Structure 1
Amino acid sequence: MDIKSFQEMLKKLFLALFIAAAVACSANPRVKLDEGSGALRPNAKQEIITKDLVALLEKAHYKKVPFDDSLSSVVFDLYLKNLDQGKNYFLQSDIDSFEPYRKVLLNDLKNGDLSAMFHVYNVYRKRFNEQLKYAISQIDKKYDFTKEESFVYDREKLAWFKTEAEAQESWRKRIKYDLLNLKLSSTGKEGEETKNKKTLKERYQNLLSQENTSNNYDAFQIMMNAFTGAIDPHTNYFTPEDAQRFNESMARSFEGIGAQLMMDNEVVKVMRIVPGGPAFRDKTLKQDDRIIAVAQGDGEFVDVVGWRLGNVVSKIKGPKGTTVRLKVIPAGQELTSAPKIISLVRDKIVDEEQSAKKEVKEVKGADGKTYKIGVIKVPGFYLNFKEMQAGNPDYKSTTRDVRRILDTLKQEKVDAVLMDLRANGGGSLIEAVELTGLFIKSGPVVQVRDPNNRVEINNDEDESISWEGPLGVLIDRFSASASEIFAAAIQDYGRGIIIGTQSYGKGTVQSAVAMDQFISRADRLLLSARDKTNEASNVDESMPQGAPKFGQINFTTFKFYRINGSSTQHKGVTPDIEFPMIYAADKFGESSEKAALPWDQIKSSSYNPYADLSAIKPALIKKHNERMKTSTEYKYLLDDIEAFNKREGETSVSLQETKLKKEREDQDAKNRDRVNARRQLKGLPAIAKGQALPRMDNDFIEDESLDIMADFIELKPAVHNQVAASAK
């Protein structure tokens, strides 16, 4: 399916959608919204968005789940989990008081009534403040680190705190654990205990400060995602600010100064300078600099200390060619120091570090020959859809980047290509189809089924092939969605060898749609009328330029299937050559999601495989297994899996200093032995106890994948000739 057809399918789906007429959003009689001057309250826009969002998903979501009491109960439980997953703040009495909302919460949302959810959120904030303030007040007390007791750091499966005293006892142990951590990492010099307590106070105060800067849109985001997550784990609502951030990440580009920012004790700090951007070229703004004020062009400076990060970012970003001035405290200087003023002209930023990259590796085959393998790391399936629609010939996309890389690799005369899709969570469906087209002549790539069970086939129509030679695809448990479409198509066509572990299992397609187009005229008039009455509400968020006014909904509209008819939902893609999986399928991946759609299959599409690799796969597996028998790194991988599974089952830690210290020393010794074993293989000197362990740039999975590719080249040259012949 081409881009135009895809848009037309979506348009037809939405034409069938009826958005109900606006109704007045009456307050829930069970809840009193006036909970004090610091309480967060919904505004009219949020109430209208809620009502229309529920109507949209009830009619247009792929998963036809009944909007009944059962779903309401799921929303209720998920909301509490999203707020306090570790059960560190709420008391059992709070949970009991919320119970009347369980079966009526969804009906409230249908009417745009957010009073119950805001009441729960305000109780959460109250408990959060109470527990943090209590913790800060207890830091200066004396703690006995010789006493044998433990701290339960994972309380998710435990009951809620029955009393305030029980909650405070848990926090006492958390404080003791945090102080013990700081003590064990200290040098033991005089005065370090005081310093550690000061550090912990600042840490807790920063958490408190961040929570107190949250507004009703932060609360609203959590509420809506509790609702959408109850339907499907990949359906999400984004506020205007988050919608803009999501769309920029998909495009891998934005307009601004080219700096990634973070909060540090109520001050915005520069976390990273993006290569190639205005800040990078100017070289005046540095990592760890703190921004205390922002001015537009020649305008007056606005102090931004204590502001929310998103609001500061929206002040700094802006259209290409405009000027922004910053008051900056250089890294390492006190906040009371005189700031320097930096003037930067905004520009279009393309984050190349999050784009496809290549590296050429050499590997010696069993025949003694040295082969050059081009490794292409693809972090995501990105597409600057807006610029593509505008006709910009240089729009950013995964396929365009990989095509250029392949042209370079051919000039470097590589013998094979390995596409590394590990930790690639997917992205654009269009890009998954077009990227596959770089390796096949033409034909179906993926089948897409809509909510009415109509199936369309997305084809690669471009008969040109960018790479005809040996191909491998490396995947892991966090390769999802578009990555699975690509890997499955390569596997079904017999175009290449799939290496790694079972993929994530996300076989659904989400459409990103601005909520603005679903807000009825009646609702807009209602909102305008209520705004004029100056309805009591918290301050609305500052609107990022170009962001949808009512936010954005990314919801499941289609399910995709391999060209052989099998869904990747739940099952994912099983590699031809498998490595042991570190992350258990029941805890990581689609199969761990309660609200996920089930696996199924449909009729296979008509396609012609490029080659039959079934004859050489057993030989490839045999050679791989033989190497693993004597591989030290493979043994380390198995050890890591065993250790990971053991840690997954642990929920507490000792608070006795000698015991915890010994556990960490034993782990440090194990890590040192492993590093030294690797250094010995490379002829490097051992690292003595007490010396810092150097970073070992070791990627055993990639190294073994390169050996598999060498085997692939040697075993069946006729296969690659067959692929080349199919391309002609």
Structure 2
Amino acid sequence: MKQRFFWLSYLFAALLIAATTALATPAPVPLAELFPTPTQTKAAIVINKVLERYHYRKVSLDPTFAATLLDRYLKALDPSRTFFLARDIERFQNGARQLDESLRRGELDIAFDVFRVYRTRVEERVNHALKLLAGRFDFSAAETFTFESDTTPWARDPAALDERWRKRVKHDYLSLRLADKADAEIRDRLSKRYEGLVRRVHQFKGDDVFQTFMNAYTETIEPHTSYMSPSTSENFDISMKLSLEGIGAVLRSDNEYTVVQSTVPGGPARDSGQVRTGDQILGVAQGLNGPMEDVVGWRLEDVVDKIRGPKGSVVRLQIQPKASGSSKPVREIALVRNEIKLEDQAAKSYVVEDLANAQGVKIGVIEIPAFYRDFEAEGRGTNDFRSTTRDVRRLINDLVMRGIDGLLIDLRSNGGGSLAEATSLTGLFIDTGPVVQVKDAFGKVELEADRDPGVAYTGPLAVLVDRESASASEIFAAAIQDYGRGLIVGEPTFGKGTVQTLIDLNRYVPGEQSDLGRLRLTMAEFFRISGGSTQLRGVEPDIRFPSADYISEHGERALDNALPWTQIDPAGFKKVADLRFDALARRSAERIAQDAGFKMLTERSRLVREVEAQKRVSLREAERRAEDQRRNQRFKADQERFLRARGLKPVDEEADPVDEEALEKQREVIARIEAEEAARILADGIVLQRTQTGPRAVMRD
């Protein structure tokens, strides 16, 4: 069952955009209905008990915890501190002095009181914003807009909040103006955005308020535990039956924006090559000609409802690329919703030859986009069910027949999957032995081990990882590194080292007639066989690529309240080699310093970090246009220089029509920059090994 829980946690967010029917627009909810119900009281009491007994992180529901919970709830409702006033916060804090005791009894009055005030404040702010929108703005004035956060002081009075909103509306207006929108279109679009915010807040039902509050509660413990109300649970069940039909993207909410957290292998989003981690979704439209609906400020669930739809239908997204900052270039893309099939996620291979100074060395590359396993076929008793390990074993045999001298496993952007597959895949490269340790909430440690004697490949091995390699990818890479079986190359990985399971709360209240919902609970943590966790720190590569220098807050490290790195006793295992890679790292660094492709990738990483670090922007139009043009030129210049060095004519992605075949080739060449350097590193090791003898060879004993 453990492997199913692991797979479930990987798919959960992606499945939220997989259903085939959109929900009807809900009616406004009267304020009189926004009070806690007896069912919610029961659910809160059960959630308390389950968390206290079964959650991996042991916490005490005390006044300090309750104060943090209130802060997190306020952040969930008003992350940029542009609705509540300081006097509201003071009243909430006074009313929550006994919040810990109230929660033990399932009393939820403070949660609903806060939300009712929030609804009133949203109405007030939107009315003010619409008045501002009817006026004129001076875009030649030397003003700046500060991106407010949860560290911004609460506004002391309505006048202070009015000033924040004046600059916010001006910023929103300027952002669309920089995207070459006409004034009439801008006013219409922003009016609908602000009015839509009021409409959606008015559609919050009691269950929505309860779910928001309880998720603030669970996130005060750690970020991967969450509560699903009965309606959310029903939606999840529908999604589970639909074989991942949708666009194949995991979305998250970041302040008022819907952000792409990751894309699913084999899905329309990833296959398009135009949707990337960190991109913001600004608008959604149906079909080839449907009107684009602005979704800034929407609840994540509402954006999901707009994006999902039946297989074969078209959805258009307006995307703000992560690296472009707050204005240009906004891009519109069309995606055909489709079923994400297992074969679309399957491992693939190719051979890298003609490596400089590699004396004819051939490196086989196997790309593994996910750790997949056809559980349904396996459950039916099918002997030849599809799995990562089986596909990789076949690919290894094919590559060996083609005369490869070394093997590179490419795990970039592999978000994880089946724990069983991570274990069995490791077994292709070691004889037998432990792969990962799993420690549960009660301190019990279980060992996942490869017990199948024999090795599918004994030659030189390297593993390529990046910041998006997570969960099962980290387990495999860590095991290969701990055994000394191969080199790990690339960037520090994501750092997802926890295990979640889905719990039906009604199982703890026998005979309960009401549906209490479900809890996604963190109940265990992964540890390397060397003793350290993969949590938070991820796997540190033996040879780092320069883009790693520009990773700041990313992956698990970017999540509030993530579990810390820790360690337990090592498992009993025997290293197969003590690898030496100093010489390989020096050679790689010398190549990369002269490589146009890496200069481009490094510049992209630097640009992304620059945008992420930006706390304020100018509200002077000429200044913003100059800054946007500078960034855009930096982004394009290095890419064009690299492509021309490879003998390719750069493709204009914004052309109409665009040369799709040439664009696909361009994307492939860029995607293989790091893989080809990893292959060169491995080839260097093979060449050096051929010149050495004795037990301290470069790549293997």
Same fold judged by TM-score > 0.5? yes
Match of 2:531 in 1: 565
Match of residue 510, structure 2, among 521, 527, 552? 521
Deviation at 1:160, TM superposition (A): 1.4
* Contact 2:349/2:365, CA 8 A, preserved across alignment: yes
Amino acid of the residue matched to residue 665 of structure 1?
A: Q
Secondary structure of residue in 2 paired with 1:254: coil
Deviation at 1:624, TM superposition (A): 0.7
Amino acid of the residue matched to residue 707 of structure 1?
A: R
Rounded to whole Å, the distance in 2 between the matches of 1:389 and 1:107 is 46
Deviation at 1:660, TM superposition (A): 1.3
Deviations 1:478-527 (A, max 9, x none): 33332221111011112221111222333332233333322x125x05x4
Deviations 1:529-563 (A, max 9, x none): xxxxxxxxxxxxxxxxxxxx543322222222211
| 1:620 and 2:584 matched | yes
Secondary structure of residue in 2 paired with 1:555: strand
Secondary structure of residue in 2 paired with 1:572: coil
* Contact 2:349/2:395, CA 8 A, preserved across alignment: no
| 1:659 and 2:653 matched | no
Deviation at 1:207, TM superposition (A): 4.0
Match of residue 410, structure 2, among 416, 420, 444? 420
Rounded to whole Å, the distance in 2 between the matches of 1:478 and 1:370 is 32
Rounded to whole Å, the distance in 1 between the matches of 2:504 and 2:488 is 37
* Contact 1:365/1:711, CA 8 A, preserved across alignment: no
Deviation at 1:217, TM superposition (A): 3.5
Match of 1:323 in 2: none
Bigger mean CA deviation after superposition, 441-450 or 625-634: 625-634
Change (3 A) 1:314 1:150: closer
Change (3 A) 1:422 1:701: same
* Contact 1:672/1:687, CA 8 A, preserved across alignment: no
Deviation at 1:196, TM superposition (A): 2.7
Amino acid of the residue matched to residue 682 of structure 1?
A: R
Match of residue 61, structure 1, among 55, 64, 70? 55
Match of residue 609, structure 1, among 551, 554, 575? 575
The residue correspondences of 1:270-669 to structure 2 (distance < 5 A) are 287-288=287-288, 349-352=339-342, 355-367=345-357, 369=359, 373-383=363-373, 388-389=378-379, 391=381, 397-400=387-390, 402-403=392-393, 405-406=395-396, 409=399, 414-518=404-508, 520-521=509-510, 524=512, 527=514, 550-580=516-546, 582=548, 587-591=553-557, 595-614=561-580, 617-669=581-633
* Contact 1:254/1:350, CA 8 A, preserved across alignment: no
Match of 1:219 in 2: 209
Deviations 1:305-339 (A, max 9, x none): xx96778999979xxxxxxxx9x99999xxxxxxx
| 1:148 and 2:137 matched | no
Amino acid of the residue matched to residue 237 of structure 1?
A: Y
Rounded to whole Å, the distance in 2 between the matches of 1:500 and 1:146 is 45
Change (3 A) 1:195 1:592: closer
Secondary structure of residue in 1 paired with 2:68: helix
Rounded to whole Å, the distance in 2 between the matches of 1:495 and 1:502 is 18
Deviation at 1:62, TM superposition (A): 2.0
Deviations 1:660-699 (A, max 9, x none): 12222222332343233224313456899x9899965223
Deviation at 1:618, TM superposition (A): 1.8
Deviation at 1:575, TM superposition (A): 0.8
Change (3 A) 1:311 1:635: closer
* Contact 1:360/1:372, CA 8 A, preserved across alignment: no
Deviation at 1:654, TM superposition (A): 1.0
| 1:167 and 2:157 matched | no
Amino acid of the residue matched to residue 218 of structure 2?
A: T
* Contact 1:398/1:435, CA 8 A, preserved across alignment: yes
Using structure 2 for the length normalisation, give the TM-score: 0.74
Rounded to whole Å, the distance in 2 between the matches of 1:179 and 1:134 is 15
> Kindly, what percent of the aligned residue pairs are identical?
34
Amino acid of the residue matched to residue 88 of structure 2?
A: D
Deviations 1:87-121 (A, max 9, x none): 12222222112102444333333222222112222
Deviation at 1:443, TM superposition (A): 1.1
Rounded to whole Å, the distance in 2 between the matches of 1:684 and 1:108 is 66
Question: Structure 1: which 5+ runs fail to align?
Answer: 8-34, 264-270, 277-285, 292-306, 318-325, 333-347, 528-548
Rounded to whole Å, the distance in 2 between the matches of 1:55 and 1:719 is 62
Bigger mean CA deviation after superposition, 637-646 or 701-710: 637-646
Deviation at 1:359, TM superposition (A): 4.3
* Contact 1:364/1:710, CA 8 A, preserved across alignment: no
Secondary structure of residue in 1 paired with 2:502: strand
Match of residue 134, structure 1, among 97, 119, 128? 128
Secondary structure of residue in 1 paired with 2:507: helix
Question: Structure 2: which 5+ runs fail to align?
Answer: 6-28, 252-262, 269-285, 292-300, 318-337
For these two proteins, the number of residue pairs brought into alignment is 608
Secondary structure of residue in 1 paired with 2:626: helix
Secondary structure of residue in 1 paired with 2:242: strand
Deviations 1:252-278 (A, max 9, x none): x73597677999xxxxxxx99x989xx
Match of residue 673, structure 1, among 637, 643, 654? 637
The residue correspondences of 1:229-268 to structure 2 (distance < 5 A) are 229-240=219-230, 242-243=232-233, 254-255=242-243
* Contact 1:468/1:720, CA 8 A, preserved across alignment: no
Deviation at 1:77, TM superposition (A): 1.5
Deviation at 1:179, TM superposition (A): 2.1
Deviation at 1:410, TM superposition (A): 5.1
Match of 2:674 in 1: 701
Match of 1:115 in 2: 109
Deviation at 1:171, TM superposition (A): 2.0
* Contact 2:56/2:524, CA 8 A, preserved across alignment: yes
Bigger mean CA deviation after superposition, 134-143 or 576-585: 576-585
The residue correspondences of 1:17-36 to structure 2 (distance < 5 A) are 36=30
Match of 1:712 in 2: 685
Deviation at 1:144, TM superposition (A): 1.4
Deviation at 1:158, TM superposition (A): 1.4
Rounded to whole Å, the distance in 2 between the matches of 1:632 and 1:512 is 47
Change (3 A) 1:436 1:687: closer
Deviation at 1:648, TM superposition (A): 3.5
Give the alignment's Cα RMSD to 1 decimal: 4.4
Change (3 A) 1:658 1:85: same
Amino acid of the residue matched to residue 521 of structure 1?
A: P
Change (3 A) 1:201 1:405: farther
* Contact 1:354/1:379, CA 8 A, preserved across alignment: no
Using structure 1 for the length normalisation, give the TM-score: 0.72
Question: Highest CA radius of gyration, 1 or 2?
Answer: 1
Match of residue 90, structure 1, among 84, 87, 97? 84
